[in-house]
Structure 1
Amino acid sequence: MAWLHTWVGLWFSWLLFAVFLTGSLAVFSEPITHWMTPEHQAAEARAARQASEPVDRARRLELAVDYMSRKHAGAGMWEIWPVNRGHDNGLTAYWFDKNGQYAEAELDPLTGAELDDHHDDEGRATLGGTHFVNFHYTLHDAGLGLWIVAFATMAMLVALISGVVTHKRILKDFFTFRARKGQRSWLDAHNAVAVLTLPFQFMIAYTGIVISSAVLMPAPVAAHYGAGAQAARLYLAEMTGEEKTARTGAALAMPALEPIVGRAEQLIGQTARAIVIANPEDSSMRIAVYGWNEDADTFRSISATTGMAEFSGDGGELLRMRPAGGVNGGAASLTRQVMSDLHMGQFGGLAIKWLYFICGMAGAAMMGTGAVLFMVKRRAKHGNEFGAATARAYRLIEGLNVAALAGLAIACVGYFWANRLLPVALENRALWELRGFFLTWALTLAHAWLCSPRRAWIAQLTLLAALCLLLPVLSLVMLGDHPIAQIARGDWESAGVELTAIAFGVLSGWAALRLHRQPLTAPPQRKPRANQEAAA
């Protein structure tokens, strides 16, 4: 078990560190996107003010229905968002196109005219926080990348279980930290962050695999439903209780939506978010109204589903209803929804988001301290695991440690710097931000292999500290904005990003200074007994 924990943990620690670090940042993907789109912040503030103003929703619904009737009469589904609360106060329509893909159009809420794709060209193109979301579970490759991360997650479960089995004094050592003791200090730090967040690590790894089960374990679905995208949609529709009705071909005029929406709001106890019309303008038409989750709703249930009421298009008979937090489809559907929301932290408000962020960073620290501990132990005593190539293998691992830990953090902050430095009108600007992330990461790897490990650690931690601490200065120079002004106008999302960067900058600077002051040669260490080395 000690061998399994050591080597499975080592070979996957670099990838898992990346998954945990970017996953922790993904918890606050919306504030990050907000910070990375400063030109839109004025529009967002204006929309927030407009959200409290009265909206002629009935008129907006009429305009959206008129647009869909003229432009997309043959679509099997219409979806109307009369108010996009929290982002902009606009009117948006969605539908499935001829290829079965989700399409959308933003409409003028006063005239119903379709707004072109360039009506907000003053904003910079960026992936924003979505970059961290996509990277942490697909590595920006929904095919192979998803499988790689899933395999690494299974290895993480193996490492967690073998670590618990191996570590006989897990609770006692959790309350023990011996500073400035070399290998023992790294082991104490590794044990502390691992034990502190052990339930979270098990939960996040297991739920991450479960929510991708249809992709990772396709055989049962293929055996019952067949292969292909259509079979997968049929499986999901049946599991989630979606009732698909065939078109009759008999025309039916679209009823007025506002009375139906008002009735649905009374039934579900929520403000209407979206109106989904299945088989529009057909006698089999169904109209489903979905609500908005208020903060209080996220505290009552782990499931983040909103309330829903569905009516027949002919006569307005109530066909189905679910409360907020409920699901259609029974226990299997509820289990899948809860697993998904547990993994994504879609409940409990801001407190849960910060808890997930802290536990995620602790998970990254667990991976990082484990990788560093491996090399600290090998410096004291070579295990000769790779025969004549052991020294070269250790040098390779040292470089990977630096680049995977400090280098990835530099790449993440470099992504923020690229957002501020790249010209707003640059073609394929979002792609260039992403390229900047990967190019920065690659350069840190080259630097880690060209320098001695100690110099590489000090240089990269110093660079990380400088990039984090100077990020608010960069915003001040490029935009004339800074945390004090952000707090004054109530923009806590932008202020939170920059203040968190400062905190990590201080931490990185402290680590670089400590390493710089550390003696070049570590004091000789007592050779551990066999059972103590196995426990480590």
Structure 2
Amino acid sequence: MATKDKTTKAQGGFRQAQAWLHTWCGLWFSWLLFAVFLTGTLAVFDEPITHWMTPEHHAEEAAAQAAANGASTASRAQRLALGMAYMAEHHPGATMWELWPSDAQGGGELKVYWFDANNQYAAATLDAFTGQPLVAKGGQAARATLGGHHFVDFHYELHAGTVGLWIVGIAAMAMLVALVSGVITHKRIFKDFFTFRPRKGQRSWLDAHNAVAVLTLPFQFMIAYTGLVISGTSFMPAGKLLHYGTGDAAQVRFASELSDGDKPARTGRAMDVPALEPFVARGQQLMGQPVRAVVIDHPGDAAARIGVYGWNGEEESARRLSATTGMAMFSAATGAVQRVRLPGAADGGAALLAQSAMGGLHMATFGGWGMKWLYFLCGLAGTAMMGSGAVLFIVKRRHRHLGEFGGATARVYRLVEALNVAAIAGLAVACVGYLWANRLLPVALEHRADRELHVFFTLWALSLLHAFVRSPARAWREQMGALAALCLLLPVLNLLTTGDHLPAQLLRGDWESVGVELGVVAFGLAAIGAVRHLRHLNKRAAA
């Protein structure tokens, strides 16, 4: 009996330790993890968001779709020749030319890319028949914006470069700790998954937290782990530093060898780039895919090489975790085949193939739109898990002071309340405010993409200030009310600023814009439901 009591006490002590770890590790990282999960969930649909945020391109895209549906289109050879002529005239000194001659069906836009004088990626869209840069509808310049890629960047580096990457990496490790300790703490976690007791205060929040956690537990583990793995060389750089050393030059050499280890050096001897169509036709045959892009390294030099890259079709994406496409590399001078990579393979062996597969798992590059929607819904559940955990902490202590911080406990609780409001409601307001900024800022404004980001961060900072100034109950209601208004009025703003609206989007089959606007409206309706629930709670508390 004594042995049994000791065993029970030891188990209880271990579980209590895990509960403490789960509570405090989860709390201090919950706000950051909520932001990472929400923006990562939105990043699943970064391309539709970017499409909605660049309305000047809609007419071009509609014309490209018409071409794909049977309208006359230029041949691939003609498109390649026009792209080369444009690059030779306007960017003869660029170290790299990249041409996207068409979509996978042979139609669509002709796009060209290059590195400018500041070594920044630059692009232009050309008319497939004349080779001249396309002008947006009405002669209006396209607005500069990060589009949906803002959510991608924030999700993994907080727009803070390497420092932000490390911060998110530490948060991901904390998330793994919280997940493991949470499973240990809740010994009846799977039973609790089927239990929900509404209108029970703390118990309701715990039930909701358990439900969304158990529902997507494998997804949460996978996302946290793969997020760490794909940035593994940044978080565990010992091998890289030992072999390459430190400093910017070492990092450039490592990146170059990792992605392009056999890239030749310039010879200094001039040589015109040969006609591309023969290389492209051979490359397509070797890799077995339609051609997506043609890359010329060192154009105009005798050491130039021509890389032909393929398109991953929907069926290929659905069945392969690795998102790499086919590739064939040729010497421009001799036409000799230098390297061939089949679709789904990876340069660099099994290690890089495994990392590519982990990247595919994390970013949902496989499975098509069905998988994207599954990731989106699981991401929302993960976001709800973070948010409900943070709220549960303060709900548990709202009427029962636990005194963890002595005389400063009340002030710490007030800080947690304000951070909860700003991290959950305030971040959502900032996200939809970013879409409002896209429509309200002048199209010709200098550094316009940066200004959109400034609006996002300013709104988020103001939400934190508002959460400190107002009582928690009022701050929740007012910020959720602001979120509902911004979401529900966004289609109206779009109509007033661009003349576009949901019926027109439906008529032209613009499902990306339809999805964005309906999604925002759905979030607005959910915010209205939250406001009504908060008012009901306040009335009940007052009674």
TM-score above 0.5: yes
Helix, strand or coil at the partner of 2:165: helix
Whether the 8 Å CA contact 2:506–2:514 is kept in 1: the answer is: yes
* Separation in structure 2 between the aligned mates of residue 466 and residue 286 of structure 1, nearest angstrom: 54
Whether the 8 Å CA contact 1:239–1:332 is kept in 2: the answer is: no
1:376 is aligned to 2:395: yes
Helix, strand or coil at the partner of 1:273: strand
Closer/same/farther in 2, CA of residues 347 and 18 from structure 1, 3 Å limit:
same
Please tell me the residue identity of whatever aligns with 2:524. G
Please give the per-residue CA displacement for 1:197-253, whole angstroms capped at 9, x wherever unaligned.
Answer: 111111111221222223333332121012234433433444457422344556655
Please give the per-residue CA displacement for 1:34-66, whole angstroms capped at 9, x wherever unaligned.
Answer: 112222211221122234543232233234444
* Separation in structure 1 between the aligned mates of residue 273 and residue 378 of structure 2, nearest angstrom: 50
Helix, strand or coil at the partner of 2:401: coil
Unaligned runs of 5+ in 1: 524-536
Please tell me the residue identity of whatever aligns with 1:26. A
2:457 corresponding residue in structure 1: 438
Which of these residues, 205, 216, 219, is aligned with residue 224 of structure 2?
A: 205
Superposition deviation, residue 118 in structure 1: 13
Please tell me the residue identity of whatever aligns with 1:245. P
Please tell me the residue identity of whatever aligns with 2:53. M
Deviates more, 1:20-29 or 1:52-61: 52-61
1:63-462 map, 5 Å = 63-68=82-87, 76-83=95-102, 89-96=108-115, 102-104=121-123, 109-112=128-131, 121-240=140-259, 242-248=261-267, 254-280=273-299, 282=301, 284-462=303-481
* Separation in structure 2 between the aligned mates of residue 213 and residue 166 of structure 1, nearest angstrom: 29
Please tell me the residue identity of whatever aligns with 1:381. R
Which of these residues, 78, 88, 102, is aligned with residue 59 of structure 1?
A: 78
Which of these residues, 14, 19, 26, is aligned with residue 9 of structure 1?
A: 26
Helix, strand or coil at the partner of 1:310: strand
1:29 is aligned to 2:46: yes
Between Structure 1 and Structure 2, how many residues are aligned? 523
1:494 is aligned to 2:530: no
Superposition deviation, residue 331 in structure 1: 0.3
Closer/same/farther in 2, CA of residues 319 and 278 from structure 1, 3 Å limit:
same
Whether the 8 Å CA contact 2:145–2:452 is kept in 1: the answer is: yes
Closer/same/farther in 2, CA of residues 208 and 112 from structure 1, 3 Å limit:
same
Whether the 8 Å CA contact 2:60–2:136 is kept in 1: the answer is: no
Please tell me the residue identity of whatever aligns with 1:275. V
1:48 corresponding residue in structure 2: 65
Whether the 8 Å CA contact 2:104–2:291 is kept in 1: the answer is: no
Whether the 8 Å CA contact 2:80–2:276 is kept in 1: the answer is: yes
Please tell me the residue identity of whatever aligns with 1:33. T
Helix, strand or coil at the partner of 1:287: strand
Helix, strand or coil at the partner of 1:443: helix
Superposition deviation, residue 366 in structure 1: 0.5
Helix, strand or coil at the partner of 1:276: strand
Whether the 8 Å CA contact 1:308–1:323 is kept in 2: the answer is: yes
1:520-535 map, 5 Å = none
Please give the per-residue CA displacement for 1:472-520, whole angstroms capped at 9, x wherever unaligned.
Answer: 2222333333223211221111111111112111111112111211255
Closer/same/farther in 2, CA of residues 250 and 468 from structure 1, 3 Å limit:
closer
Please tell me the residue identity of whatever aligns with 2:212. V
Helix, strand or coil at the partner of 1:518: helix
Deviates more, 1:255-264 or 1:418-427: 418-427
Closer/same/farther in 2, CA of residues 224 and 117 from structure 1, 3 Å limit:
farther
Superposition deviation, residue 394 in structure 1: 0.7
Closer/same/farther in 2, CA of residues 372 and 422 from structure 1, 3 Å limit:
same
* Separation in structure 2 between the aligned mates of residue 87 and residue 195 of structure 1, nearest angstrom: 46
Deviates more, 1:112-121 or 1:161-170: 112-121
Whether the 8 Å CA contact 1:384–1:390 is kept in 2: the answer is: yes
* Separation in structure 1 between the aligned mates of residue 33 and residue 258 of structure 2, nearest angstrom: 31
* Separation in structure 2 between the aligned mates of residue 113 and residue 519 of structure 1, nearest angstrom: 63
* Separation in structure 2 between the aligned mates of residue 483 and residue 97 of structure 1, nearest angstrom: 38
Superposition deviation, residue 179 in structure 1: 1.2
1:457-496 map, 5 Å = 457-496=476-515
Helix, strand or coil at the partner of 1:289: strand
Unaligned runs of 5+ in 2: 1-17
Superposition deviation, residue 319 in structure 1: 3.3
Please tell me the residue identity of whatever aligns with 2:51. H
Closer/same/farther in 2, CA of residues 250 and 125 from structure 1, 3 Å limit:
closer
* Separation in structure 2 between the aligned mates of residue 116 and residue 502 of structure 1, nearest angstrom: 32
Please give the per-residue CA displacement for 1:439-463, whole angstroms capped at 9, x wherever unaligned.
Answer: 2222222222222211221222222
Deviates more, 1:47-56 or 1:291-300: 47-56
Superposition deviation, residue 301 in structure 1: 0.4
* Separation in structure 1 between the aligned mates of residue 516 and residue 106 of structure 2, nearest angstrom: 18
1:38 corresponding residue in structure 2: 55
Helix, strand or coil at the partner of 2:322: coil
Closer/same/farther in 2, CA of residues 463 and 280 from structure 1, 3 Å limit:
closer
Please tell me the residue identity of whatever aligns with 2:54. T
* Separation in structure 2 between the aligned mates of residue 117 and residue 141 of structure 1, nearest angstrom: 33
Superposition deviation, residue 24 in structure 1: 0.8
Superposition deviation, residue 320 in structure 1: 2.5
Whether the 8 Å CA contact 2:95–2:299 is kept in 1: the answer is: yes
Task: Give % identity.
Answer: 61
Superposition deviation, residue 84 in structure 1: 6.2
* Separation in structure 2 between the aligned mates of residue 388 and residue 86 of structure 1, nearest angstrom: 69
> What TM-score results when the alignment is normalised by the length of structure 2?
0.88
> What TM-score results when the alignment is normalised by the length of structure 1?
0.89
Closer/same/farther in 2, CA of residues 41 and 96 from structure 1, 3 Å limit:
closer
Closer/same/farther in 2, CA of residues 236 and 123 from structure 1, 3 Å limit:
closer
Whether the 8 Å CA contact 1:47–1:87 is kept in 2: the answer is: no
Whether the 8 Å CA contact 1:80–1:93 is kept in 2: the answer is: yes
Q: CA RMSD in A?
A: 2.8
